[in-house]
A and B are shown apart, each in its own frame.
Chain A
């Protein structure tokens, strides 16, 4: 095994990453890092672009399942969705571990790579769980739209939850961080790239419900027990941006009125 001073570059897709894994096994080398081509970096080291090949990706995929079992592939798929800055490299090392130890590769939680992988997947799972609650839909003409700004790529993880919840509605969840949108209409769903998207101006009815909710939110707090630190630890401020309860509804309404006048 050689540690070549090379960096792999790939197209950013899961298949592409599996091809990098293939390359590493094929060339019997461990690259210094694996980066996707949309990540800008200034590097002095040579980069090698790894072409995407469905066939190679399939072979690696199947190998992971055969050696490590379903659990292994699921974990690796999830790791790919995390925001760990070196997730690609971790995944490569993990596949090498699976190659050596099979399904026992994950048992040693005290190993640096395993624990980093588990931690970032835990972080992803946590964030996905929080968004099941913190997402806020606006409704217009029976169409429900929500915008989120997650750190991790959570859409694939929350997809089924919202489909199970609203099987007969039409909705969209727009992930602004990753420029992705989950679109659903009964009974079809798709996750697509959406480069730009702006939330529509809310209707009067929508504003009324937002106001009711905000009011409820404010009145449900018990003054004698106020504890902002506790609230923030459960619901960090970065989530507040897209939540109804922290919007200034009157300001939105004024803006709306202005727009109508200007028309």
Chain B
């Protein structure tokens, strides 16, 4: 079996894992070896689907003793099985790294024999990289649920980030689709990793040179759209995970069928819910950086995101009594809640308004997206003079282009039945595109 073929099979299976960032940690080798990592992360390329390629994302092997229904490598499926030797994979990583193809390695694996054995194999790859090749680049490894705590400890000391995939938004779905995995084992692992990271933080305070346990923290991912959970359920879960396990990131992966199974959406006519995934990321962002709670964005009555406008706009429209706010007076927290004002522009406003009061032209230069913000702000008591408040216009200006591009695929395929914004009007994707580009 040649390397090319192995790489093809083992990267093809790993590609649905969306957590491919290299961010979260700054480090250099201090001339002791090769490699570095940058806190903001570096994309080395973008694949044809527009996603950032940062890490060599592969499975150690696609042999697996489990039988997850949605997975092409489940034991009951008849596919070609291959495995890297630890040395082979370490060498490939080094050669890609030196050519600046990648920031590092993202290593996951099918379960060979048992969780412990699998974890040992993963450790061996990382050990060669770190201890023999003195590789200081980024390594993200999957913590295999059910593996021994001592192994997790060893792995955590070698890698930058660890993750345990929660896979499904609810236990019910998990039991149904991944019968060999248990929610308890997954959450236990998360807890262990979280505890080790916290413990280790104290060590680092005490002894400056103490080695770091997964310095870029832990993340998780779940599949969206394979099962019936609502956006609200998912967002609540996310919020809980951030709070309880101090996760760095939760990733969402729009379900893409690779196998046919009566328990899963049929492959025929299925379109991955990309817009939903996009909205979840937007809402996730609002939880982490904008001070929103899940309950403010969705609730028992409104369990799905508005397909037409982003969650922040949606929140603002539902809370019009709080607007308009005056950019020259509003608190930083309130500025953050204005559609069209991001973290950066909110910070800039707060600095700039110290030296003079800001008008709409000034806001534009600062980077505020006036097209959206104008309905929610005043500048020293004045509304934007060009403002034409007519319902049609507002909607047109609040719809995001990214949303539109995804809408084209999804909306037209009737994936979204609820249109809370215009219940009586029928809006067709193309008309919306036209109204944005003004091609009436």
Contact = CB atoms under 8 A, between A and B. Distances in A.
Interface of A: 104, 107-110, 115, 129, 132-139, 144, 146, 161, 164-169, 186-187, 209, 211-213, 215-231, 233-235, 243-245
Interface stretch (B71-79, B197-205, B279-287, B360-368): B360-368
B45 A146 contact: no
Contacts of A219: 8, 11-12, 15
A216 B355 contact: no
A139 B99 contact: yes
Given A215-B8, A220-B57, A234-B43, A225 B96 contact: no
A146 B100 contact: yes
Nearest to B364: A110
B110 interface: no
B8 A138 contact: no
Nearest to A110: B362
Contacts of A228: 48, 50
4 A-B pairs closest in CB distance: A230-B50, A110-B362, A221-B47, A225-B49
B36 interface: yes
B101 A136 contact: yes
B35 interface: yes
Given A133-B44, A164-B36, A166-B34, A217 B53 contact: yes
A212 B4 contact: yes
Given A220-B57, A222-B49, A134 B98 contact: no
Contacts of A164: 28-29, 36
A150 B101 CA distance: 18
8 contacts: A108-B356, A134-B44, A166-B98, A169-B34, A217-B53, A222-B51, A225-B49, A225-B274
B31 A110 contact: no
B277 to A, nearest CB: 10
B33 A168 contact: yes
Contacts of B15: 219-222
A234 B50 contact: yes
A168 B33 CA distance: 7
Please indicate which of the listed interface residues B43, B49, B100, B352 has the most CB atoms of chain A within 10 Å of its own CB: B100
A231 B45 CA distance: 9
B99 A110 contact: no
B49 A226 contact: yes
Contacts of A244: 99, 101
A220 B53 contact: yes
A165 B138 CA distance: 11
B24 interface: no
Nearest to B15: A220
A149 to B, nearest CB: 16
Contacts of B30: 167
A11 B271 CA distance: 60
A42 B50 CA distance: 44
Contacts of B358: 110
A231 B47 contact: yes
Given A168-B34, A233-B50, 10 more contacts: A108-B356, A110-B358, A136-B101, A212-B96, A216-B11, A218-B48, A222-B47, A225-B274, A244-B101, A245-B45
Interface string B322-361: 0000000000000000000000000010011011101001
Contact of B355 (A107, A135, A226, A233): A107
A104 B354 CA distance: 11
Contact of B98 (A137, A215, A222): A137
Interface in B279-330: none
A225 B40 CA distance: 25
Given A144-B98, A187-B31, A213-B99, A224 B352 contact: no
A110 B28 CA distance: 38
B7 A115 contact: no
Contacts of B3: 212
A215 B11 CA distance: 10
B128 interface: no
A213 B352 contact: no
A222 B351 contact: no
Contacts of B272: 224-225
A235 B92 CA distance: 25
A245 B33 CA distance: 27
A216 B354 CA distance: 51
B95 interface: yes
A240 to B, nearest CB: 10
B222 interface: no
A161 B37 CA distance: 10
B42 interface: yes
Contact of A212 (B12, B34, B50, B92): B92
Given A110-B358, A216-B56, A219-B11, A133 B45 contact: yes
B256 interface: yes
B383 interface: no
B433 interface: no
B7 A224 contact: no
Contacts of A216: 7-8, 11, 56
B31 A165 contact: no
A241 to B, nearest CB: 14
Given A165-B36, A220-B15, A109 B100 contact: no
A133 B42 contact: yes
Given A220-B57, A224-B272, A234-B50, A110 B366 contact: yes
A183 B388 CA distance: 58
B422 interface: no
Contacts of B4: 211-212, 215
Nearest to B356: A108
A169 B256 contact: no
Interface string B388-415: 0000000000000000010000000000
B362 A231 contact: no
B25 interface: no
Nearest to A111: B365
B46 interface: yes
B48 A168 contact: no
Contacts of A165: 28, 34-36
A235 B47 CA distance: 10
A161 B137 CA distance: 13
